[in-house]
């Protein structure tokens, strides 16, 4: 079924309503295509500004329900091929709706055809901010890039709200126009690529709570003592605020503002004691995210290692369960591990290009296929041409490409030549069985000891395990936590 051009405003409303009610619930991508078609229909056929605004609001409300399903799919499947297609489709739908409502607002502000233009323009402005806010949250949750015109659009909305005295108007979320705009800028400087899903949700909540603590002002009023908390907000530049080290470097152009975070950072730094007093069950996560935001907003992430450009084809396998299948169980013979990438089913292997490398890891780009690249997930990588032993990495960040079925991924090296083993904590219940794990042997000359990688929550130092490998069973003691992710931990150990 496709939309047919209807005659008459009432018919347009009925057509859009019926179309929205008939979206294919089980086909998320098909629903996205139809939402794009409905948007085009509204723009081409509805000439009444008031009715067009009502249809846009109706379309956005239904799109929000659909976006929740997309975000759930992405959370469950991370960056596999199906999740990538849905993430890009969600971005397209929101970008098109934001562009449409901004065009309507420009028309209202430029023509002012009726006495009621002011009321309608205010509604268009608040709806545009609601869409922009939803778009920013979706981009963080699904690791997609905001489209090229997004930031100029948000700056346009703020500028005209300020010019017309509308900064105190309320949006659908209950926050003011100014607070909503400031939250968008906070989300823009938030490094969601390095966060887990739960951390992103907490960061979004904190940004909403702290948006009113941001100070937007002219550059001349800023104090030098707060220079480390000042960002430059250029209303003519298509980007979020840019971090500045010293107040002397601030530009004095009229279209440039100081985005000052002194009160925001102070509030984040005191979140630990506040959360403990509240006794909330999620206080630990809130404290962790508050610390991350305070650190990243005052000292934005910089490269710690020099990068070397390369171009290597790598076979990639994700998740411990699949990696162990590829490496072979404890009963396998060593000869079966010589070329592990050939032991997995082809659906388990994705081909990525390594674009650069450093002492700590690789920058990868490719089509993940059925792989789920969650933040903190384990990766088994092998150079297809060098025929070396595979190496174990951890996913540190992911970013969805806007135009291709690809994802970029930052992978941190854990070690080389992993081995599948089984472990059980000593002193466990007799009914507790061995747990799957991976072991990395320390190479000669390296400072790091043997590593044990286990899923789940952290174990206490000096915890002892019974380890089972191809050579039998023996006891080990954890001496140091080497690396922790949201899904796994790598621990140094010694044999007892």
Is residue 14 situated within a structural domain?
A: yes
Q: Is the pLDDT of residue 139 over 90?
A: yes
- Beta strand 378-383 pairing with 419-425: unpaired
* 438 and 326 in a common domain: yes
* 362 and 228 in a common domain: no
**pLDDT band with cut points at 50, 70 and 90 for residue 206:** very high
* 313 and 294 in a common domain: no
Examine the fold and report which residue of 298, 331, 349 is the final residue of a domain before the chain moves on.
Answer: 298
Average pLDDT over residues 192-221: 89
In 3D space, the residue among 307, 296, 305, 303 whose CA is nearest the CA of residue 363 turns out to be 307
* 378 and 292 in a common domain: no
CB burial class (10 A; 0-12, 13-18, 19+) of residue 107?
A: middle
* 318 and 293 in a common domain: no
Kindly tell me the sign of the dihedral angle through the C-alpha atoms of 410, 416, 421, 424: negative
Q: Domain total for the chain?
A: 3
More confident call, 151 vs 20 = 151
Is residue 349 situated within a structural domain?
A: yes
Check residue 329 and give its pLDDT: 56
* 449 and 393 in a common domain: yes
Report residue 461: phi and psi, to 5°.
Answer: -60, 155
Tokens of 272: 């630990």
Q: Of 195-204, 294-303, 318-327, 406-415, where does mean pLDDT reach its minimum?
A: 294-303
* 140 and 40 in a common domain: yes
Q: Is the pLDDT of residue 280 over 60?
A: no
pLDDT tens digits for range 42-96 = 999 878 888 999 999 999 999 999 999 999 988 887 777 788 889 999 999 999 9
Examine the fold and report which residue of 120, 152, 187 is the final residue of a domain before the chain moves on.
Answer: 187
* 258 and 112 in a common domain: no
* 225 and 176 in a common domain: no
Is residue 201 situated within a structural domain?
A: no
**pLDDT band with cut points at 50, 70 and 90 for residue 462:** low
- The domain of 39 spans 9-187
Check residue 398 and give its pLDDT: 87
* 238 and 127 in a common domain: no
* 436 and 327 in a common domain: yes
Check residue 373 and give its pLDDT: 86
What is the residue whose two structure tokens read 């759930």? 72
**pLDDT band with cut points at 50, 70 and 90 for residue 334:** very low
pLDDT tens digits for range 347-396 = 578 899 999 888 888 999 998 888 888 888 999 998 876 666 889 999 98
**pLDDT band with cut points at 50, 70 and 90 for residue 11:** confident
Tokens of 59: 């379309």
Tell me, letter by letter, the H, E, C secondary structure of 401-470.
CCCCCCEEEEEEEEEECCEEEEEEECCCCCCCCCEEEEEECCCCCCCCCCEEEEECCCCCCCCEEEEEEC
* 74 and 111 in a common domain: yes
Number of Cβ within a 10 Å radius of residue 102? 21
**pLDDT band with cut points at 50, 70 and 90 for residue 402:** low
pLDDT tens digits for range 407-449 = 888 999 998 889 999 998 887 777 778 889 999 987 655 556 7
Is residue 490 situated within a structural domain?
A: yes
Examine the fold and report which residue of 171, 187, 203 is the final residue of a domain before the chain moves on.
Answer: 187
Tokens of 141: 């949750």
What strands, in cross-sheet order, belong to the sheet with 242-243? Answer: 215-217, 256-260, 230-234, 242-243
Is residue 257 situated within a structural domain?
A: yes
Q: Is the pLDDT of residue 283 over 70?
A: yes
Q: Of 258-267, 331-340, 397-406, where does mean pLDDT reach its minimum?
A: 331-340
Is residue 303 situated within a structural domain?
A: no
Give the span between the Cα atoms of 380 and 395, in whole angstroms.
11
């Amino acid at each position: 079924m496709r939309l047919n051009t209807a005659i008459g405003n009432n018919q347009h409303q009925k057509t859009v309503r019926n179309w929205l009610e008939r979206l294919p619930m089980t086909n998320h991508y098909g629903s996205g295509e139809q939402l794009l078609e409905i948007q085009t229909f509204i723009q081409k056929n509805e000439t009444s500004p008031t009715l067009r605004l009502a249809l846009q609001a109706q379309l956005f409300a239904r799109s929000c329900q659909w976006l929740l399903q997309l975000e759930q799919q992405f959370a469950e499947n991370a960056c596999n091929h199906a999740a990538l297609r849905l993430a890009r489709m969600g971005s397209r739908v929101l970008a098109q709706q934001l562009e449409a409502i901004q065009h309507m607002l420009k028309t209202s502000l430029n023509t002012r055809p009726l006495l009621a233009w002011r009321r309608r323009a205010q509604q268009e402005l608040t709806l545009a901010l609601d869409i922009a806010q939803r778009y920013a949250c979706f981009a963080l949750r699904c690791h997609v890039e905001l489209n090229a015109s997004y930031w100029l659009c948000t700056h346009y909305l703020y500028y005209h709200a300020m010019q017309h005295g509308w900064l105190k108007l309320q949006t659908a979320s209950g926050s003011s126009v100014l607070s909503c705009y400031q939250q968008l800028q906070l989300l823009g400087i938030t490094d969601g690529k390095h966060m887990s899903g739960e951390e992103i949700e907490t960061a979004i909540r904190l940004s909403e709570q702290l948006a009113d603590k941001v100070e937007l002002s002219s550059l001349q009023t800023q104090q030098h003592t707060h220079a480390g908390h000042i960002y430059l907000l250029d209303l003519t530049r298509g980007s979020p605020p840019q971090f500045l080290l010293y107040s002397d470097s601030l530009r004095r152009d009229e279209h440039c503002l100081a985005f000052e975070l002194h009160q925001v950072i102070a509030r984040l730094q005191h979140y630990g004691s506040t959360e403990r007093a509240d006794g909330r069950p999620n206080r630990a996560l809130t404290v962790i995210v508050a610390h991350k935001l305070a650190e990243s907003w005052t000292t934005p992430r910089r490269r710690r290692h020099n990068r070397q450009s390369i171009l290597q084809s790598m076979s990639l396998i994700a998740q411990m369960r699949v990696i162990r299948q590829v490496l072979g169980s404890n009963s396998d013979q060593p000869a079966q591990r010589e070329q592990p990438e050939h032991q997995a089913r082809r659906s388990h292997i994705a081909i990525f290009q390594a674009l650069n490398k450093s002492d700590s890891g690789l920058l990868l780009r490719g089509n993940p296929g059925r792989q789920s690249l969650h933040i903190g997930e384990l990766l088994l990588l092998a150079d297809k041409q060098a025929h070396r032993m595979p190496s174990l990495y951890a996913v540190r960040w992911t970013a969805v490409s806007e135009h291709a079925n690809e994802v970029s991924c930052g992978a941190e090296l854990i070690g080389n030549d992993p081995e599948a083993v089984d472990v059980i904590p000593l002193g466990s219940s007799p009914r507790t069985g061995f747990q799957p794990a991976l072991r990395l042997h320390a190479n000669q000359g390296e400072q790091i000891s043997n590593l044990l990688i286990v899923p789940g929550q952290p174990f206490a130092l000096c915890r002892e395990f019974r380890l089972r490998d191809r050579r039998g069973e023996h006891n080990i003691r954890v001496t140091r936590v080497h690396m922790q992710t949201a899904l796994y931990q790598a621990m140094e150990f010694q044999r007892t």
